[in-house]
């Protein structure tokens, strides 16, 4: 569901991670499994994966569609045929579908004009002639029928509203049009609503994924003029899953809250539109010329609009069917031979917005290829020591429904048994992207050093390393790219992995249950992201532009399959806690720096306000206002976090050292005892109070940002409180986060004691 | 002639300058002249300036046009009527005018297509219905008639050719299309020629000055679809002025070189075109999608072209009349009462590309207003102590012809008599821009602290200060903006002025004759630069969008007039040499850092080449090549410059201290002696060998960049040699530049001795 393209995807693998040095010292995988892995690789058949993808992507497969259920049944049948214990688990969730919707320009230049709101078929691509595609729609918007002046708010992110304020333009009672990009979709109408807007429109600017990025489909991969991006606008940073069952599984008998009390459902109507439609609306605007950073690639002068009678007047109406729909999660199990109650859980969703070829079926066919290969290995005598649980989620697109409801339903069991959750989603040709819990950073480096990149014949890890170093040396490389290149340039060091935010099915596992999680994918070559969540994300597009020959879909299977096998069979923990401690220590430094820059910004602004500089610097012929004064930032006391991080570092070092020295000598019983302590270790990062205003998110290290959505916020209780100038919260969460990290260190000490035979 | 808009113009005032602290200590102007200046201000009449501008901009006034001569005669007559000794001085220069020209797409998608090459009139703006406008043309291009495949090279700057090389695309024998921006116009066809191209096209992308920046004319100030930018493509960084008379005035009997031997004339044909025409050509291209930074705002996918038969094939033909044309420089003199042989020279050109309302007539009417006011003051009894020379240049647009030929003709006299050259050119509403010789930095701060900004009622200096501080605090402010803001944020410190490169008439004075020079202007509000060098830069456009009411044209007159009066009447030097020394010291630090980064870049690249990283990082489905290895950079010895700068600092401090302590007590004779030493001081920055490959440029501190054109390069002999990896030259010019600075310090020591009565 999350969209990643090009450089962003590539760099995310290197953002903010810590650096480790032990890779060169331990070049072999943690178990002797090379022969087994070669056998596994031999089972991965890209051509067969292509036939699966064609079948699964043959018809629209969104929640509630016929093909969605058919796909689940087919996946379950395949797993069974490969020797898995497979079943479908259903949930009944609130899932609105459109009854009627319209968007018209009813006044101002260009009126009257009616937005198309459907995507035309593409000659030569038979699949696009379907009648069953959802129209332009965003799930969990608020029904309504409003007519109001239009205002353009760029990406619709918090900084954009500050800029509007400086221009003296209010969106109160207006319909806000924003473009996709710059932050998660769901925040755009939410922030519009928070600022008093009556309705919201989101369009895909050609600058961001249309003709400005590449030739448009079918000539190239980019978004054609009438393509639009569907998606969810539920307030996921509050909680994902069924809006009516926060924190519990939406099983038949579950207690449901009233829809009007569901915090995650938007209150204003919202529609996504194409750039062909948006051009007419944007051209109708009056008022100031949009700031330079707000301008897209349409052949018009972008204006902000005054929200008055002189510019575009828009009629927006949306009505939905708010009935419950059924989710079909497929759960397959391959029972462990030695530790059946220790689970390696791996998942990828199967529902799409229309055909969903790249998103999510490219990852789904990797999961299937892995499952089939494990079946073959199992039939030829291999049994995993731990239980392998393969999950094919439904309803990820509307808001991680299938994974969240399943995780909430089976939370206790998962907390008791799960070692790790490994996710994938959209996939394509290009470079490795690996994110997740940092104790697994070294493990990820080991796994990806053993997977060959098909375009270059070096490992996928070495190819990523090369790319990071080259990008850092390009003219105009930014600070982040240069830092990433510096780390990557030392072949003795592991490549850092980035923290997980949200946007795919790992969220409930990592952030609600406290299970270590990993997410893998490939991409960054050939694609433009331009068919994301559109009708045109189909078999022809994926096989022509995103992953011709399904070569990287197969590489994904080899990567994740390898990780699953090693984790299923390892006798000793693969974690290296020093990497986690170093990473958290880096996060703490960032947060302290943030506190300083936040304080400096308030002081600098006060000085500018005091000297009337904003007024003097403004063009008096343009509407302008000085900014609202920032709250002064009190001094903060980081002692509790400093102490906790110091303890974490010491405990991590002690564990890593002990395990390296004495791990191999541990008896089977000692190993079992050790694994029993290590397995639930990350749950000590959970605090029962959760994050301020969103208690569902209990992990004190990793969370999706309240106002970034997909983007991760680390040490979120502290970091976000400083960003939002809730300084009391910030100080409070210094203590709470410190407690979590200390608890974690305490558990680590227990593990170390076991290794040391105490 | 030089175009500056918005932020760039504003920040240039603060780039690279050094910081002084004495402003607060010397709040009064260097002479008691407030009453006189108030009287001067009272003579400045914006409405009258508007009538002058309307008259001068009534018809096309490029070199060789009837109205160009008429304007010169009118200006001379005005000066005479105001009591000036005024005359017209003529020069006969090579100046090509178009006989025929055509540009056709003859093959590839979209062919056949014929480019319009003329600018249509605008309903409601009668002036644009002229028949006499020059067509699309760039002066000093090379005539030719070529048909070849088209390749797109972005801005056509050196980095763009490196990128093309990495894509494996050659421009040899091709026609290169580049967009305006990113560097000086003349470098675009020159670099194309250096890379073997057969022809060159330059177009104005709507992203840079068209609809993406503002509404297009006549609704707004931006470039309409069929507007194009004329200009000169002579190789000005080799030498400006008549290509046939380098270094000497093109007077009647002057010796002229053969046209084919003139280094500054391009050898390949070149035309500028509109974005309406360019869209068809660019859409015809095949090959790779243009890199992200190369994409403009046309509603197409930008491709680079392969230069093969599959993409656009273009026929380009230009034929010129290469006869000599006559320049009409107007020279007005107001004789000094005490020191008639000490000259304050002030100039602004009067020729435009078409009507030239903003460029150059907005500055020209400021010059005229000053001249009229001085005439009134003179009639009422004031006589300047020094001689004031007001110059209205012809032929600036084709390549600083009028000023350069005059400066070369009168070089010896100017070196003996001129105190300073003060320039202006295009002007508009907004913020102060002041650039020049850094010994005058404090003087510039004093002058501009006494001119009121009409929009805010603070001084123009304080308004600029406010703007710099606010911009530095905006989200996303870059390093340069933050540094500028930090300096500007301390009201006790002078605002730095930036170094002069080229692009207006100061060049010969500063860089060939070694005279201190200053350049003043206002801008950054309301305009978009979109009519620059087009038919649409006319009275209606200037008075509607650029400077309604001619308010800032009047402010320019008050600013420059004040500077002229103070310099004409001061008994003691206004220079503060510590500012110059500090600035040069900063330049030296930059150059040393450049040497380090240049060395680091070669090492980093060698490492990447050695590890095959470029190949591994490349998309194998796209054409790609590793970069050509950079020359290894030897260690450099900066001792000679370190010693010279140390000496310069010491000598400057000694002079400034002495003058502050004892200046007022000097006798008239001592003052005359002192001025006689100070006046020619900057000529010690000249070295007879000039810069490598361009001996006309003899100033070792200030030059236009060989490959930036208008953009200044400071300590150019060293800096550019490092940039271009001519490391032997770099080391050689460390010595030569050190000699110049030591000579300068030596002259300063003589001045100090006079002040100290030795």
Chain B residues within 8 A of A298 when measuring between CB atoms: 299
Alpha helices in B503-576 (DSSP H): 507, 539-541, 551-569
pLDDT given for residue B709 in this prediction:
81
Name the pTM for this structure.
Answer: 0.94
Dihedral class, residue B338 (left if φ above 0, else alpha if ψ from -120 to 50, else beta): alpha
Mark yes or no for CB contact B617/A525 under 8 Å: no
> B523, B303, B301, B280: which is closest to B425 by C-alpha?
B523
pLDDT given for residue B3 in this prediction:
62
Does A651 score more than 50 pLDDT? yes
* CA–CA dist A595, A584 (Å, integer): 16
Chain A residues within 8 A of B14 when measuring between CB atoms: none
pLDDT band (50, 70, 90) for residue A25: very low
Quick one: fold of B578-755?
A: Transcription Elongation Factor S-II; Chain A (1.20.930)
pLDDT given for residue A18 in this prediction:
35
Does A30 score more than 60 pLDDT? no
Percent of chain A surpassing pLDDT 70? 96
Does A424 score more than 70 pLDDT? yes
* CA–CA dist B370, B360 (Å, integer): 16
* CA–CA dist B703, B710 (Å, integer): 9
Alpha helices in B663-693 (DSSP H): 668-678
Of 3.40.50.2300, 3.90.1010.10, 2.40.10.340, 3.40.630.10, the CATH number of A29-95+324-451+499-570 is 3.40.630.10
pLDDT digits 0-9 by tens, A330-379: 999 999 999 999 999 999 999 999 999 999 999 999 999 999 999 999 99
Percent of chain A surpassing pLDDT 90? 92
Does A27 score more than 70 pLDDT? no
* CA–CA dist B166, B152 (Å, integer): 14
pLDDT given for residue A15 in this prediction:
36
Does A547 score more than 60 pLDDT? yes
Chain B residues within 8 A of A159 when measuring between CB atoms: 475
Q: Chain B: residue nearest A618 by CA? A: B467
Other CB atoms within 10 A of residue A165 CB: 15
Structure-token pair, residue A50: 């292509």
pLDDT given for residue A33 in this prediction:
77
Q: Chain B: residue nearest A528 by CA? A: B289
* CA–CA dist A228, A323 (Å, integer): 25
Please list, in sequence order, all residues whose beta carbon lies within 8 angstroms of the beta carbon of residue A453, skipping any fewer than 6 positions away: A459, A460, A462, A463, A555
Longest dimension (CA), chain A: 80
Other CB atoms within 10 A of residue B449 CB: 18
Q: Show the CA angle centred on residue B667, arms to residues B666 and B668, nearest 5°.
A: 120
pLDDT digits 0-9 by tens, B476-495: 899 899 999 999 999 999 99
pLDDT digits 0-9 by tens, B190-214: 999 999 999 999 999 999 999 999 9
Instruction: State the nearest Cα–Cα gap between B308 and chain A, in angstroms.
Output: 19
Mark yes or no for CB contact B214/A462 under 8 Å: no
3-class SS of residue A365: helix
pLDDT given for residue A34 in this prediction:
86
- Is the domain covering A97-321 a CATH 3.50.30.30 domain? yes
- Whether B696 and B238 have beta carbons less than 8 Å apart is answered as yes
* CA–CA dist B73, B80 (Å, integer): 11
pLDDT along chain B (758 residues), means of 10: 48 37 36 82 98 98 97 98 98 97 97 98 96 96 98 97 96 98 96 98 97 97 98 97 97 95 97 98 97 97 94 98 97 97 98 98 98 97 96 98 98 98 98 98 98 98 97 89 93 96 97 98 90 98 98 98 97 97 98 96 95 96 95 94 98 98 95 97 98 98 92 97 97 98 98 94
pLDDT given for residue A7 in this prediction:
36
H/E stretch holding B753 reads helix B727-755
Does A9 score more than 70 pLDDT? no
pLDDT given for residue B474 in this prediction:
87
Task: Tell me the domain boundaries of chain A.
Answer: 29-95+324-451+499-570, 97-321, 578-755
**Averaged pLDDT for residues A374-387:** 96
Chain A residues within 8 A of B471 when measuring between CB atoms: 617
* CA–CA dist B538, B550 (Å, integer): 14
pLDDT given for residue A12 in this prediction:
42
Chains A and B form CB pairs within 8 A to the count of 120
pLDDT given for residue A165 in this prediction:
96
Instruction: State the nearest Cα–Cα gap between B338 and chain A, in angstroms.
Output: 42
Alpha helices in A611-638 (DSSP H): 613-617
pLDDT digits 0-9 by tens, B214-232: 999 999 999 999 999 999 9
Q: Show the CA angle centred on residue A484, arms to residues B304 and A477, nearest 5°.
A: 35
pLDDT digits 0-9 by tens, A163-220: 999 999 999 999 999 999 999 999 999 999 999 999 999 999 999 999 999 999 999 9
Chain A residues within 8 A of B470 when measuring between CB atoms: 608, 613-614, 617
pLDDT given for residue B34 in this prediction:
86
* CA–CA dist A521, A515 (Å, integer): 20
Q: Can you give the C-alpha Rg of chain B in angstroms?
A: 26
- Whether A57 and A539 have beta carbons less than 8 Å apart is answered as yes
Instruction: State the nearest Cα–Cα gap between B431 and chain A, in angstroms.
Output: 9
Instruction: State the nearest Cα–Cα gap between B205 and chain A, in angstroms.
Output: 11
pLDDT digits 0-9 by tens, A675-715: 999 999 999 999 999 999 999 999 999 999 999 888 999 99
Q: Chain B: residue nearest A453 by CA? A: B616
> B24, B35, B17, B199: which is closest to B103 by C-alpha?
B199
Mark yes or no for CB contact B301/A463 under 8 Å: no
**Averaged pLDDT for residues A382-409:** 97
* ipTM score assigned to the predicted complex: 0.94
pLDDT digits 0-9 by tens, A427-446: 999 999 999 999 999 999 99
pLDDT band (50, 70, 90) for residue A1: low
Residue B449's φ and ψ, nearest 5 degrees, are: -75, -15
Chain A residues within 8 A of B298 when measuring between CB atoms: 299
Nearest to B616 among A299, A463, A608 (CB): A463
Q: DSSP string covering A477-489, please?
A: --HHHHHHHHHHT
Instruction: State the nearest Cα–Cα gap between B46 and chain A, in angstroms.
Output: 19
3-class SS of residue A318: strand
By CB atoms closer than 10 A (0-12, 13-18, 19+), residue A726 is: middle
pLDDT given for residue B7 in this prediction:
36
Nearest to B458 among A289, A475, A616 (CB): A616
Cα–Cα distances in Å, from A75 out to A70, B36, B147?
A: 9, 92, 60
> B629, B575, B623: which is closest to B604 by C-alpha?
B629
Span of A124-128, A364-368, A528-532, B320-324 with lowest mean pLDDT: A528-532
H/E stretch holding A348 reads strand A339-349
Q: What is the mean pLDDT of chain A?
A: 94
């Amino acid at each position: 569901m999350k969209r990643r393209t090009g450089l962003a995807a590539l760099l995310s693998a290197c953002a903010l991670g810590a650096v480790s040095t032990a890779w060169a010292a331990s070049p072999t995988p943690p178990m002797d499994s090379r022969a087994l892995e070669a056998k596994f690789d031999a089972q991965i058949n890209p051509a067969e994966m292509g036939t699966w993808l064609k079948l699964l992507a043959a018809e629209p497969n969104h929640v509630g569609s016929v093909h969605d259920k058919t796909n689940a049944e087919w996946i379950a049948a395949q797993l069974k045929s490969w020797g898995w214990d497979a079943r479908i688990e259903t949930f009944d969730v609130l899932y609105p579908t459109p009854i009627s919707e319209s968007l018209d320009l009813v006044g101002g230049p260009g009126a009257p004009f009616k937005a198309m709101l459907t995507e035309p078929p593409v000659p030569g691509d038979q699949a696009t002639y379907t009648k069953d595609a959802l129209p332009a729609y965003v799930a969990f918007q608020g029904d309504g029928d409003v007519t109001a002046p239009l205002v353009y708010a760029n990406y619709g992110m918090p900084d954009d509203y500050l800029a509007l304020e400086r221009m003296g333009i209010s969106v109160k009672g207006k319909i806000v049009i924003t473009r996709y990009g710059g932050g998660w979709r769901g925040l755009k109408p939410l922030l519009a609503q928070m600022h008093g807007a009556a309705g919201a429109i989101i369009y895909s600017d050609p600058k961001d994924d249309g003709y400005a990025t590449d030739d448009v489909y079918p000539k190239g991969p980019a978004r054609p003029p009438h393509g639009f991006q569907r998606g969810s606008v539920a307030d996921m940073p509050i909680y994902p899953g069924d809006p009516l069952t926060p924190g519990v599984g939406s099983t038949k008998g579950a207690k449901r809250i009233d829809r009007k009390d569901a915090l995650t459902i938007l209150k204003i109507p919202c529609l996504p539109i194409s750039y062909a439609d948006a051009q007419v609306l944007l051209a109708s605007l009056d008022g100031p010329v949009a700031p330079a950073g707000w301008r897209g690639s349409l052949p018009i002068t972008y204006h902000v609009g005054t929200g008055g009678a002189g510019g575009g007047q828009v009629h927006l109406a949306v009505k939905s069917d708010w009935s419950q729909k059924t989710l079909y999660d497929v759960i397959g199990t391959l029972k462990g031979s030695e530790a059946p109650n220790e689970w390696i859980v791996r998942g990828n969703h199967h529902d799409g917005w229309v055909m969903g070829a790249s998103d999510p079926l490219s990852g789904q066919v990797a999961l299937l290829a892995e499952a089939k290969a494990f079946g073959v290995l199992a039939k030829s005598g291999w049994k995993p020591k731990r239980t392998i649980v393969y999950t094919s989620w439904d309803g990820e697109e509307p808001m991680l429904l299938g994974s969240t409801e399943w995780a909430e339903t089976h939370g206790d069991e998962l907390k008791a048994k799960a070692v790790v959750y490994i996710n994938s989603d959209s996939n394509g040709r290009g470079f490795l992207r690996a994110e997740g819990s940092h104790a697994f950073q070294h493990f990820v480096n080991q796994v990806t050093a053993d997977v060959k990149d098909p375009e270059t014949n070096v490992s996928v890890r070495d190819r990523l390393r090369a790319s990071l170093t080259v990008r850092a040396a390009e003219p105009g490389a930014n600070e982040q790219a240069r830092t990433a290149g510096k780390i990557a340039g030392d072949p003795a060091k592991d490549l850092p992995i980035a923290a997980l935010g949200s946007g795919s099915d790992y969220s409930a596992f990592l952030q609600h249950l406290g299970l270590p999680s990993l997410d893998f994918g490939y991409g960054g070559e050939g694609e433009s992201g331009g068919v994301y969540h559109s009708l045109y994300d189909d078999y022809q597009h994926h096989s022509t532009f995103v992953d011709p020959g399904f070569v990287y879909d197969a590489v994904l299977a080899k990567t994740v399959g390898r990780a699953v096998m090693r984790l299923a069979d390892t006798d000793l923990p693969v974690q290296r806690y020093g990497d986690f401690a170093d990473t958290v220590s880096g996060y703490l430094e960032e947060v302290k720096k943030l506190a300083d820059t936040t304080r400096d910004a308030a002081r600098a602004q006060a000085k500018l306000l005091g000297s009337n500089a904003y007024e003097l610097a403004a063009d008096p012929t343009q509407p302008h206002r000085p900014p609202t004064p920032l709250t002064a930032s009190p001094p903060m006391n980081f002692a509790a976090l400093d102490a906790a991080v110091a303890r974490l570092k010491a405990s991590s070092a002690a564990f890593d050292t002990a395990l390296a020295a004495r791990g191999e000598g541990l008896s089977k019983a000692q190993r079992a005892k050790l694994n029993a302590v290590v397995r639930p270790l990350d749950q000590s990062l959970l605090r029962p109070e959760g994050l301020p205003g969103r208690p569902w998110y209990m992990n004190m290290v990793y969370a999706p940002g309240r106002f970034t959505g997909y983007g991760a916020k680390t040490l979120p209780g502290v970091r976000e409180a400083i960003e939002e100038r809730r300084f009391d919260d910030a100080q409070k969460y210094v203590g709470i986060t410190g407690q979590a990290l200390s608890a974690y260190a305490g558990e680590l000490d227990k593990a170390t004691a076991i290794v040391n035979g105490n």
